[in-house]
């Protein structure tokens, strides 16, 4: 097998991080650059990247993104996986599988019972025990199709200074569902990153108190101007109506609104017609890193009283093997 001399460990320097960044750029970028942009990796933290070294060179790596996921109204610690890349000269030798095993061991040691990722290819992650668990969707709608029944105020312009407020609104919304992300600092920094576009913030206050918000940019491509929402959160129907009407007021100069959501996005209920299109549909995968701790950490309905015996079979992570009694 290739990589018999392989050593896997936490990145030791920005030079090693740059080597992994180059591999990621080579593997995933539409237009690889001579100068690798390390800002996102440094924001994530050098301690959250594992690299595979062979003959003193970085030939692969994987990133861990500390966060959480909401289950039963409680945030369960979760490590997202990104930056999985292997040098073309070292592929098909089992390095990616070895990297994933080491990453899962690291997650367990750091206290993350869950792990999720967006797969470029599913085969290697299925070998490591990941499986499809949810969907990320982006919708596109012509601005002339937006409702206007929430016109007449209720929205104020915000800024980065509103971040504590935005985080609170987001958590209240995300905790209502199963599997929604409980973001860490890197994800929030990415949402508000203005290095390649002007980032706007607006807050919905239909009754004088914050009930929703949007983080968005504007861009023009092929003669079409689009508002791209990085976040569009509404805790109430009134907040949804005033936010959609706010974007409708841009229709004389903006052609489309694009926003992220779920396959059953509540905002769709407020549209007069089904003119929207699904611009992006991508399934994400989940892995139980520590079954017992994951079951202990999540929430359950208060009125529920039950006992379940579970036999866990896990050929990849031996510590999960065995019987669990859930009460």
pLDDT tens per residue across span 7-29: 999 999 999 999 999 999 999 87
pLDDT tens per residue across span 134-150: 999 999 999 999 999 87
CA atoms within 13 A on the CB side of 61: 30
**How does strand 74-86 pair with strand 256-261?**
unpaired
pTM given for the model: 0.91
- Average model confidence (pLDDT) for the chain? 94
Interatomic CA distance for residues 238 and 235, integer angstroms: 9
pLDDT at position 3, please? Answer: 47
With b for 16 or more beta-carbon neighbours within 10 A and e for fewer, the 152-188 pattern comes to eebbeebeeebbeebeebbbebbbeeebbbbbbebbb
DSSP letter assigned to residue 272? S
Interatomic CA distance for residues 23 and 287, integer angstroms: 25
């Amino acid at each position: 097998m290739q990589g018999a001399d392989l050593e896997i460990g936490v990145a030791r320097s920005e030079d090693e991080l740059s080597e992994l960044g180059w591999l990621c750029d080579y593997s995933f970028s539409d237009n690889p650059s001579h100068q690798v942009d390390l800002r996102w990796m440094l924001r994530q933290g050098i301690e959250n990247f594992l690299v595979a070294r062979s003959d003193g060179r970085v030939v692969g790596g994987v990133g861990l993104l500390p966060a959480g996921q909401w289950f039963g109204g409680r945030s369960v610690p979760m490590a997202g996986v990104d930056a999985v890349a292997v040098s073309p000269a070292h592929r098909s030798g089992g390095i990616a599988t070895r990297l994933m095993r080491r990453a899962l061991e690291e997650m367990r040691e750091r206290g993350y019972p869950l792990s999720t990722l967006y797969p470029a290819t599913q085969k290697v992650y299925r070998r490591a025990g990941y499986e499809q668990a949810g969907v990320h969707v982006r919708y596109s709608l012509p601005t002339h199709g937006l409702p206007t029944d929430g016109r007449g105020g209720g929205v104020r312009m915000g800024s980065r200074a509103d971040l504590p407020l935005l985080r609170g609104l987001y958590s209240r919304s995300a905790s209502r569902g199963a599997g929604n992300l409980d973001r860490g600092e890197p994800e929030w920094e990415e949402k508000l990153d203005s290095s390649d576009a002007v980032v706007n913030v607006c807050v919905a206050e239909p009754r004088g108190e914050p009930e929703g918000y949007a983080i968005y940019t504007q861009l023009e491509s092929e003669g079409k101007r689009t508002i791209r929402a990085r976040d569009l959160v509404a805790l109430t129907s009134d907040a949804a109506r005033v936010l959609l009407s706010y974007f409708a007021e841009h229709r004389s100069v903006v052609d489309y609104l694009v926003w992220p959501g779920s396959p059953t996005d509540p905002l769709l209920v407020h549209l007069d017609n089904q003119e929207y299109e699904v611009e992006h549909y991508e399934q994400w995968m989940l892995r139980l890193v520590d079954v017992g701790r994951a079951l202990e950490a999540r929430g359950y309905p208060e009125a529920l009283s039950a006992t379940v015996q579970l036999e866990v079979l896990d050929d990849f992570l031996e510590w999960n093997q065995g019987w669990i009694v859930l009460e």
